[in-house]
Structure 1
Amino acid sequence: MKPNLLTIRQLSINFGGPPVVDRIDFDIAPGEVVGIVGESGCGKSITMLALMGLIDAPGQVRADKIFFNGQDLLNASPRARRKIIGKDISMVFQDPLSSLNPSYTVGTQIKEVLRQHEDLRGAALHARTLELLDQVGISDAKNRIDSFPHQLSGGMNQRVMIAMAIACNPKLLIADEPTTALDVTIQAQIMQLLVDLQKERCMALALISHDLAVVSQVARRVAVMYAGEIVETNYVPQIFEQPHHPYTEALLTAIPEHNRGAKRLTALSGVVPGQHDRPPGCLFAPRCKYRIDACEHARPPLAPLKVGAVRCIKPLNLQSAADTPAASYFTS
């Protein structure tokens, strides 16, 4: 069995108060596609930003372990981290227009990545930039290379962001809601581009998304986040066919395809708890239709099942007693 490409243990992030991300354990194998799902405010994006070293003060990031490709990122020097971040680990952000610099052409911005990490210069640098634009499906690359972001459509700018992200052949690509700001027809094209690039380059892909339908088609494994915690992990299609956490079940129930013929879409009442209104027990308990008294007082750990793991006192859809987590739920 190959070692994990990425291993994160007990990652926590806070901004001077209670943690907004609390004791995250996360793994990605080489070449694996992992979907990270959950409502807005659940901590999906900020977890990956912490990995990239993009949490600014007063944010504080703590962890027991962050290993990437056998290297200790937690204790690496800033110089050593710069050799990895942007080269071996890269990220595609939600809104390309806010991520690209409006003062420079898209070609200049791609070239900067190649200069920094690949030490390319001159004709080789220009040729490689044109090649990347062509690989991400930008037609007439010779003319587009001198365009500014405002001169391109949203879909084109997202393709430029992807070109920058894959420029150095990363081992791990993080795609943070890469189609959110795009038209529906363009969304499918961008997702297909990411899938094709992942397969061609055999790179690992962490896909942050609200679109469970896309995740079910693309990902090998899914991590469900709620209020800064991972509440369930499992493989596809098991997590969609037999979810073990009530929150996962609620997300699946709210999919429009599951509400055909109904007068109204099924909705999950309530909101994700904020930094200063977190309940003392299970964080999902105030919104959970299965809650019992113990849920109000016990903070369950992410306990392994026979397949996958779940953070719940009474997991759903367990086939037998042998599937029940052995770990004690009543931990702080």
Structure 2
Amino acid sequence: MSLLEIRNLSVRFGADAPPVVDALDLTVEAGEVLAIVGESGSGKSVTMLALMGLVDAPGIVGADVLRFDGSDMLRLTPRQRRRIVGKDLAMVFQDPMTALNPSYTVGFQIEEVLRQHLGLKGRAARQRALALLERVEIPAAASRLDAYPHQLSGGMSQRVAIAMAIAGEPKLLIADEPTTALDVTIQAQIMHLLLDLQRDRGMALILITHDLAVVAETARRVCVMYAGEAVEVGHIPTLFERPAHPYSEALLAAIPEHSRGARRLATLPGIVPGRYDRPHGCLLSPRCPYVQDDCRARRPPLEAKAQSLARCFHPRNQEGLV
């Protein structure tokens, strides 16, 4: 059984509103590194927030299966969910400065996780909090326990957020664009830290990112999302070398290195469809250079192609692989 299994997940904000995540299928195995990529607004973060139970009203989450480590996440009571979220299932959010509570010290916030999920108190909690700060490579860790978030840099704040996330020794860690708000040099350090922790603890890692170079170096599989749908899911490096979906192909072509020597960078014309202007057929059809009549008439399912799962009637790069 997979550690995480998602079948036909949908998220909408209002009973009559179009879905912002639609018919999403996804699995994650124990110890696996899965990357989720796509443009801003493609539903990457909302998918993980739905799993964590953090989609508030008027948000509506539905799924045929939303199971983590054998638990049906849609049927759990709030008390049962609190035993899992923050312990076995944890998340590092995109902006470290807003992920931490400005009214409490770093030590208090880490110790609160330890009290809630591991039952540690007093000196034991304090020592464990210090060990966690040292594990995420914060210099002068003992002095940072009594610091407030505003006294930390962005990189240190993100390290504190990671320390809180791993405090309960999670089986699955979700990192939602964990380096977006950081300097380039700090980004590399944070990514190295996350992967080091993943290997040491044997936990699964879902990495939400725009950086395809990071995906190529770190992930075992990648899920490409577009307009709330998973349009391709496949293994690295096969998907990068021979993408089946035109959107995957366009994302890879947009990497600046691929346009070296050209007058202009490669782009995909048009814009992502909004909530109320979604095309009847394939959601990429208004922008796809390979569109045909059946693409405009019907929505393609996510199904096995020669090298990956892809949501396309006319997949790319199939020659010699069938």
**1:27, CA displacement in angstroms?**
0.2
- Greater Cα offset, 258-267 or 56-65: 258-267
Deviations 1:274-313 (A, max 9, x none): 1111011100011100001111111000012244200001
Q: Structure 2 matches for 1:47-126, cutoff 5 A?
A: 47-126=47-126
SS at match of 1:117: helix
Aligned counterparts of 1:296 and 1:248: Cα–Cα separation in 2: 19
Matched-pair contact (CA < 8 Å) for 2:306–2:318? no
Aligned counterparts of 2:8 and 2:182: Cα–Cα separation in 1: 34
Counterpart in 2 of 1:278?
278
Deviations 1:75-126 (A, max 9, x none): 1222111101110000000001111111111111111111110110011000
Aligned counterparts of 1:104 and 1:78: Cα–Cα separation in 2: 25
Matched-pair contact (CA < 8 Å) for 2:18–2:276? yes
Counterpart in 2 of 1:5?
3
How much identity, in percent, do the aligned residues show?
Answer: 63
SS at match of 2:205: strand
Aligned counterparts of 1:319 and 1:130: Cα–Cα separation in 2: 56
**1:319, CA displacement in angstroms?**
2.9
Deviations 1:238-281 (A, max 9, x none): 00000000000000000011111122211111111111110111
SS at match of 1:23: strand
Aligned counterparts of 1:232 and 1:286: Cα–Cα separation in 2: 18
**1:242 is aligned with what amino acid?**
R
Counterpart in 2 of 1:316?
316
Count of matched residue positions in the alignment of Structure 1 and Structure 2: 320
Counterpart in 1 of 2:25?
25
Aligned counterparts of 2:263 and 2:40: Cα–Cα separation in 1: 26
Matched-pair contact (CA < 8 Å) for 2:83–2:117? yes
Normalization by structure 1: what TM-score?
0.95
SS at match of 1:234: strand
Normalization by structure 2: what TM-score?
0.98
- The 4+ residue runs of structure 1 with deviation greater than 4 A are none
**2:56 is aligned with what amino acid?**
D
SS at match of 2:286: helix
The gaps in structure 2 that reach 5 residues or longer are: none
Aligned counterparts of 1:304 and 1:217: Cα–Cα separation in 2: 25
Aligned counterparts of 1:275 and 1:316: Cα–Cα separation in 2: 28
- Greater Cα offset, 268-277 or 35-44: 268-277
Counterpart in 1 of 2:266?
266
**1:237 is aligned with what amino acid?**
P
Matched-pair contact (CA < 8 Å) for 2:12–2:21? yes
- Greater Cα offset, 242-251 or 77-86: 77-86
**1:226 is aligned with what amino acid?**
Y
- Greater Cα offset, 232-241 or 287-296: 287-296
SS at match of 2:283: coil
- Greater Cα offset, 299-308 or 218-227: 299-308
**1:9 is aligned with what amino acid?**
R
Matched, 1:213 2:213: yes
Counterpart in 2 of 1:298?
298
Counterpart in 2 of 1:246?
246
**2:61 is aligned with what amino acid?**
V
The gaps in structure 1 that reach 5 residues or longer are: 324-332
Counterpart in 2 of 1:236?
236
Aligned counterparts of 1:315 and 1:65: Cα–Cα separation in 2: 28
**1:72, CA displacement in angstroms?**
1.6
